[in-house]
Amino acid sequence: MAKTPRVVVAGAGPVGLLTALALAKRDISVLVLEAEPGLTVDLRAGTYHPPSLEMMAPYGITDEMHKTAIPVPRWQIRDRKEGVIVEWDVTLIKDLTPYPYRLHLEQHRLTPILHSKLAECPNAEVRFSHEVTDFSQDAGKVTVTARTPGGVEKFDAEWLVGADGGRSTVRKCMGVGFEGYTWPERFLVASTTYDYEPHGYTLNAYVADPVDWNAMFKMPGDGPPGMWRVLFPVAPEEDEMAALSERNVERLMQGFQPKAGSYPIMYKSIYKVHQRVASDFRAGRALLAGDAAHLNNPIGAFGLNGGIHDAINLAEKLSRVCRGEGDAGLLDLYVRQRRTVNLEYVQEYSVRNLKRLIAKTEAERRQNFEELREAAATVEGRRNFLLVSSMIASVRRANAIT
């Protein structure tokens, strides 16, 4: 790699690594700086929509994912008492995408694929235990400061991409706001090898209830029989240790689906959920992508997918700027496209999805179910719903912005 990279990327999560790979494949030298000593294990994200698979396919990533991932062509919206409200069949839009399904693969199984692809690029490098702490910029370059095992180091580049997560240092140093709110409920996720499919659940299902709503996803785990993640709400006042106790998790699991004997729990955690969008995705030579730019609740699986769309959009435009094929106005176009769809689609529909599950009054619940059944009653209604839920509509909207 050239001594001075054209682009520094902060963060070696999936968005940072994909941005770096897409740049490197376009002959732009790139250095990725990651605060952690290695690739991290994040057990939250893991659902990939058709446009994301299409965007990653040219780099050989999608084929590699399919070796262990689980295709999910059908998914459900259910009610805790009434059962299935609607079952969606993504193959209905197979004329619009070569991947007419959701694909389930844990995020920590995607990052090694990205990292290995990036390692094959002579113009790219990843440095772990390099925590970006600050940056400065002038008309010609950006200087990134990082805390490393050897002490504080500085790296010059033409551009900086902040893909360093929801607590992004790059975003804070840019001085842009992170507008939005935090949901009062926390989310508890428990993973089990118990199989829910014989009970009528599709491999991805969302279950409405005024109090005990749920979301569930089957993941590959370490191999057959796979692992189911079940998500539960945790009241704001509930103690975290008490919520995560073996007794409470068993109570939640049995309350959701009673079974003989206790559940085998492989993993459990609690996390806060945010709905936030940065006030700008660009400040001069610094740009934001992924969680550094936007956060949303996981109902609908829009967060990581939105970050993947950021990465490909940004890399295409930034590489053109680096090659002199366009001016920095292309980067403002990136901001307009990706920030707009985050507000109009990612935020709007992820909030709508969660509110549909947690609706408290019977009138709200009935209205939600009627709307879903009405959408599912015709081919046109089903296709329109799937265009939004698969994120094809958001990609089309972004591409229409000039």
Q: Sheet holding 294-295: strands in order across?
A: 178-182, 274-278, 294-295
Per residue of the chain (402 residues), give pLDDT as tens.
Answer: 547 899 999 999 999 999 999 999 999 999 999 999 999 887 778 999 999 999 999 999 999 999 999 999 999 999 999 999 999 999 999 999 999 999 999 999 999 999 999 999 999 999 999 999 999 999 999 999 999 999 999 999 999 999 999 999 999 999 999 999 999 999 999 999 999 999 999 999 999 999 999 999 999 998 888 999 999 999 999 999 999 999 999 999 999 999 999 999 999 999 999 999 999 999 999 999 999 999 999 999 999 999 999 999 999 999 999 999 999 999 999 999 999 999 999 999 999 999 999 999 999 999 999 999 999 999 999 999 999 999 999 999 999 999
Closest CA to 275 of 298, 256, 255: 298
Instruction: Name the pTM for this structure.
Output: 0.96
Q: How many DSSP H helices and E strands does the chain contain?
A: 13, 22
Beta bridge partners of 134: 145
Show the beta-strand stretches assigned E in 1-130: 7-10, 30-33, 47-48, 70-72, 74-79, 83-89, 102-104, 124-127
How many residues are recorded in the chain? Answer: 402
Task: Spell out the domains of the chain, with CATH numbers in brackets.
Answer: 7-69+103-181+275-357 (3.50.50.60), 186-274 (3.30.70)
Residue type, 69: A
Q: Give φ, ψ of 351 to 5 degrees.
A: -65, -45
